[in-house]
């Protein structure tokens, strides 16, 4: 067994009881204090939900606009033509096109984090389902990535819009900012994310919906959060 390093010993001493439930403010404060890496760590929230995603009436999916942004430079690709294409470019889209963009992506180009499409482009975009689908990049009207208002969708994506989707194990998780963010900014983002998931509670969810909440950072430990600190 590897010998614990001084850093690990100090971390264990600081955390103490790993069964403790933390208030969201205390957990964020500690995570920021423990972030001593050379890069700006991402902070994440994970929620164990009382749903079974195998059933259609227990799917949880949506989008939330984080009030303090994500701290990431989101690269956006837009399928649009003519005036819509010009609007997308003016709004800050990184790559815009139609048949030409289809050929580019079909040929292996994947230098983007979000795909947005105007409704008239979906017949074309649908042919990329096997490429975009497994990566979670397929545009969907439920999360605002298929829309006639492509300019606003681009602005939202660049400004802090985050998609969420429950996984097979009933867990939904997402980044809520960087360790360099202020305490207030991170608290606002966590609350916005959790509130969005609560509003997205599906009709088929019975009993306790939010079973467990955990906050963590890229290289740090996970903190179990007291649901009461988030009004859950």
pLDDT tens over the chain, length 232 residues: 445 455 545 555 555 556 789 999 999 999 998 887 788 999 999 999 999 999 999 999 999 999 999 888 899 999 999 999 999 999 999 999 999 999 999 999 999 999 999 999 999 999 999 999 999 899 999 889 999 999 999 999 998 888 899 998 999 999 999 999 999 999 999 999 999 999 999 999 999 999 999 999 988 889 999 988 888 7
Contacts of 69-74 with CB under 8 Å at 24 or more apart are 69/159, 69/160, 69/177, 70/160, 70/162, 70/175, 70/176, 70/177, 71/40, 71/42, 71/177, 71/178, 71/180, 71/181, 72/42, 72/113, 72/175, 74/113, 74/114, 74/157, 74/158
């Amino acid at each position: 067994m590897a010998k614990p390093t001084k850093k690990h010993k100090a971390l264990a001493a600081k955390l103490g009881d790993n069964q403790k439930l933390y208030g969201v403010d205390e957990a964020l404060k500690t995570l920021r204090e423990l972030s001593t890496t050379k890069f700006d760590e991402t902070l994440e929230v994970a929620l164990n939900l009382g749903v079974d995603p195998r059933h259609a009436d227990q799917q949880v999916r949506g989008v939330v606009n984080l009030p303090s942004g994500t701290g990431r430079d989101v690269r956006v690709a837009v399928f649009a033509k003519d005036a819509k294409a010009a609007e997308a470019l003016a709004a800050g889209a990184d790559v815009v096109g139609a048949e030409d963009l289809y050929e580019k992506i079909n040929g292996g180009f994947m230098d983007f984090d979000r795909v947005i499409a105007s409704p008239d482009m979906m017949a074309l975009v649908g042919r990329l389902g096997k490429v975009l689908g497994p990566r979670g990049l397929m545009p969907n009207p439920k999360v605002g990535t298929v829309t006639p208002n492509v300019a606003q969708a681009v602005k939202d994506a660049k400004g802090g819009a985050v998609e969420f989707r429950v996984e097979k194990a009933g867990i939904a998780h997402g980044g809520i900012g960087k360790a360099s963010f202020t305490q207030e900014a991170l608290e606002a983002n966590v609350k916005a994310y959790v509130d969005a998931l609560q509003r997205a509670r599906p009709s088929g969810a019975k009993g306790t919906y939010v079973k467990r909440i955990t906050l963590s950072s890229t290289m740090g430990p996970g903190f179990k959060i007291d649901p009461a600190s988030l009004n859950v």
